[in-house]
Structure 1
Amino acid sequence: MKRWGKVCLSVLAGLLLVAGGGAAYLYRELEPERHFEGVRHPVIAPLPESEEEARPEPASEQQAEAFNVLILGIDARGNEDARTDVIMAAHVDPIAKKVNLISVPRDTRIEIPGIGYTKINHAHFLGSLQAGDDAGTEAALHAVSRFLQAEMNYYIKTDFQGFIGLVDRIGGVDVDLPHPVADFAEGAHHLDGAEALKVVRERYSLPDGETGRQADQALVLRAMLEKMLAPDALRQLPDLIAQVKAEVIETNFSDADLLSLALLFQGMERSQLEYVQIPGESGVAYDPLVQAELSYWLPDEAAVQRISAAYLQNK
C-alpha cells in the first residue's frame, strides 16, 4: 500500500526561493488545477457489477479530477494491532476549490466479508492481525469504500503518538470549543498535542456523545490546516512535509501532491469546506467477531447513498 512520492524536497524547497521564470514554472507544476489532472486510478474502489464497469475511464488532459481521501486515526499502543478511532472521507475538488468532509462513526455496523456484521473500526484490526499494518490499511480502505460506495484515491493514516507529534511540531492549535470537552471549558483554547488528542477522543462528557466527538475532530482538523497554511508557515512547509512523512503519517500522497494541496487550501474560506455526519441511530446487535452483543451506530442506508452521491462523487 506504500506508493511513496520520489520528488526531492530539497530541490523543491530551493525552487520555492527562485524568482521569475523558475518560480512560475514551479507554481505551474504544483498548481492544483493542473497537478491533479487525470486522477482516475483509485487505491480502492467498490467492486464493479460487470466487466464493462471495471474498465477505467480515459484520464482527462484538460483539467484536474476531484478525488477522495480516507483519513484514519489509529488507536495504536506499542506493537498491538490497532482499530481506527477516527474515520473521515474527504472529497477534494481542485477546480471548484472545495472540500467535502464526511465523518464515519467508528461504531458503524457494516458487513465485512468472511466475518459478518461488525463495527467498521474492526476492519483495520482484522487486516493487520492477518498480514500486518499495510493489510490493515487496505482492509480499512475496502470497508469504507464499500460502505460509502465511493472510490478512495488517497489515504492518510496516523496513530496517537503521530498526532501528538504533528500538533506539537506546528506549535499547537487554536480552537474555539462550542461546548465543554473533558477538562476544557467552552471557548477559545490553545492546545498542545496531548491536549488536542484528548479533545478529539472525548465523547463521554459531551451531551451528544459520538456525534459531538466527530464534530470536534473536524474542528481540530480545520485548526491544524489553518496553522500549517498560515502565511508565515508556508516557507517551512517543504521541510515539515518531509519530517511528517518520515515520522508521523503513512500516506500514498507524494511530497509534490502535498505541496500542491497546500496551494489549494491556502486562502480557502470556511464556506469552501462542507462537513457532514452519517445519520442513523444507536442500537445493540450480536457481533460474530467477539461473539457477544455490542453497541453500534446503525446507519440510515438511504441517507448514506444520498450523502455519497452528493458529497463524494464527481459531478
Structure 2
Amino acid sequence: MSRRPDRKKPKRLWLKIPLILIGVLVLGIGAYAFSIYNNAAKTVDDEMHAPIDSIDRDVAKKKVNATEPLNILLLGVDAREGDSGRSDAVMVLSLDPTTDSMQLVSIPRDTRTTIVGEGFEDKINHAFAFGGADMSVATVENFLDIELDYYVQMNMEGLDELVDELGTITVDNEIAWNDGSYDFQEGPTEMDGDKTMAFVRMRKQDPDGDFGRTDRQRKVIQGIIDRGASFGSVTKINSTIDILGNNMETNMDFDDMKKLLNSYADTRKNFVSYQMTGNGTYIDEIYYLIVDDKEVEKVHGMVSGI
C-alpha cells in the first residue's frame, strides 16, 4: 500500500502564480531575452529542462512546429527542504494561435479524483507529492480526458526573489487590511517581494475567501508581466533567468521556448480564465471538493475544443 502524504493544510496556498512563468519567461519578456543573453539557453537546457514519461516529447514538438493549439499544465509547488511538496496551484493553460486566444482553467487543489499510478481517490494536488510532475500530468489528463503537451513547475519559494529582481510591482488593491506587518490600502499599491507574498497569502480577512485570494494572485501575475515586459527591466533578464532556473522545471527546452515566443505570443491578445467549481464535503474528516460530471464535461469541452 502506498504511503499517503501528510494531510496537514499547507501554510502557503497558490492558485494562479504559475502563470508568471509563461507570462514573464515564455510570453511576457519577449524574444530579445533569448537572442541577447547567451545565459538563457544554458540555464533552460541545463537547469530547467526536465522531461517526463507521461508526455511524448516528439508529439509535442511536432505540434509546436506546425503551430497547432497546445495545452500546458502549470503547477505552483510549495516545496521546502526535506519535503517533496504539493502542487497547490493546478491549472491548464491552452494556447490557440489560430484564433490568437489564451485560456487558463484552474483546478481547485482539493478536487477529489483518481490519482493515476496509485489507484485510489485523493486530492488532485497530492498527485505531485506521490509522483511529482509526471503523476500530476497523468492525473490531470485522466480527470479531464485531455492530452497535455507541456508542463511548467514553479517553486513558490522563489516568487519574492523574482519580484525583488524586477524591482517592484503595482496592483490595484480592492480591499483594505493590515496583517501586522503591512498596511494594505485600497487603490494602486506598490509592492516589493516580501509585501507581494503577504498580498497573495492573505485569505481570512477577505470576505470572498479563496475567490478573493485568487483575484489578488491574478493581479500580482499581471503586475509581474507588466514589469517584466517593461523596457526598464531589459538589463535584468539575465539575473531573472537565473532565478527562474533555480525555481522552475519544465519539459520545454530552449528551442521550444523560442518557437512559443515566435509563433504563440499573440495568443495573449484574447485571454480568458475559468475556475472549476464543485461542492465541498468531508470524507473521513478530510475536506474535499467534489466536482460533478457536468462540470468536468464542460471544462473538457473548453480545453479540448480550443
TM-score exceeds 0.5: yes
1:78 — aligned with what? 81
Deviates more, 1:136-145 or 1:208-217: 208-217
Per the TM alignment, residue 250 of structure 1 is displaced from its structure 2 partner at its CA by: 1.3
In the other structure, the counterpart of 1:130 is none
In the alignment, the residues of structure 2 paired with residue 58 and residue 75 of structure 1 have an alpha-carbon distance, to the nearest angstrom, of: 29
Q: Compared with structure 1, are the counterparts of its residues 64 and 266 closer, same or farther at alpha carbon in structure 2 (3 Å cutoff)?
A: closer
Equivalence for 2:271: 273
Q: Which residue does 1:21 correspond to in 2?
A: none
Larger deviation, residues 194-203 vs 145-154: 194-203
For the structure 1 residues 12 and 73, does the alpha-carbon distance in structure 2 shift closer, same or farther, using more than 3 Å as the test? Answer: same
Question: CA separation in 2, counterparts of 1:181 and 1:258?
Answer: 39
Alpha-carbon deviation of 1:101? Answer: 0.9
SS at match of 1:147: helix
Q: Cα deviation per residue 1:180-224 (whole Å; 9 max; x = unaligned)?
A: 466333322122222222333332222222222233323322222
SS at match of 2:158: helix
Match of 1:282 in 2: 280
Q: 1:201 to 1:232 in 2, by over 3 A?
A: same
**Partner Cα separation in structure 1 for residue 260 and residue 276 of structure 2:** 26
CA contact (8 A) 2:102 2:271 kept: yes
What are the Cα deviations for residues 287-313 of structure 1, in whole angstroms up to 9, with x where unaligned? xxxxxx211222233122212212x22
Shift in Å, 1:275 = 0.8
Residue aligning to 1:313? 304
Answer whether contact 1:182 1:202 (CA < 8 A) is retained: no
Equivalent position SS for 1:65: coil
CA shift in 2, pair 1:204/1:63, >3 Å: same
Partner of 2:194: 194
Return the alpha-carbon distance in structure 1 between the equivalents of residues 174 and 223 of structure 2: 14
Q: CA deviation at 1:165?
A: 1.9
Report the AA paired with residue 223 of structure 1: G
Asked if structure 1 preserves the Cα contact closer than 8 Å seen for 2:162 and 2:240, the reply is: no
Note if 1:166 corresponds to 2:162: yes
The alpha carbon displacement at 1:58 in A equals 11
Q: Does 1:12 align with 2:45?
A: no
Aligned to 1:51: none
Gap change, CA 1:146 and 1:201, over 3 Å in 2: farther
SS of the residue corresponding to residue 150 of structure 1 reads: coil
Aligned to 2:24: none
Q: Which is greater in Rg?
A: 1
CA separation of 1:14 and 1:307: change in aligned 2, threshold 3 A: closer
Equivalent residue for 2:106? 103
Residues 142-165 of structure 1: CA distance to partner in whole angstroms, max 9, x if unpaired? Answer: 222222222221122122322222
Q: Which amino acid aligns with 2:149?
A: N
Unaligned runs of 5+ in 2: 1-31, 39-51
Q: Which of the residues 131, 149, 153 maps onto 1:153?
A: 149
Match of 2:287 in 1: 295
Match of 2:129 among 122, 125, 130: 125
Equivalence for 2:229: 229
CA contact (8 A) 1:172 1:192 kept: yes
Quote the offset at 1:115 in angstroms.
Answer: 4.9
Change (3 A) 1:109 1:204: farther
CA offset at residue 94 of structure 1? 2.8
Q: What's the offset of the Cα at 1:265? A: 4.3
CA distance in 2, matches of 1:158, 1:57: 20
Pairs aligned (count): 255
Judge conservation of contact 2:73–2:93 (CA < 8 Å) in 1: yes
Aligned residues of 2:100 and 2:267 also touching (Cα < 8 A): no
The answer on whether the counterparts of 2:173 and 2:189 sit within 8 Å (CA) in structure 1 is yes
Give ranges in structure 1 of 5+ residues lacking alignment: 1-8, 16-41, 46-55, 128-135, 287-292
In 2, Cα distance between equivalents of 1:252 and 1:11: 18
Are residue 220 (structure 1) and residue 220 (structure 2) matched?
yes
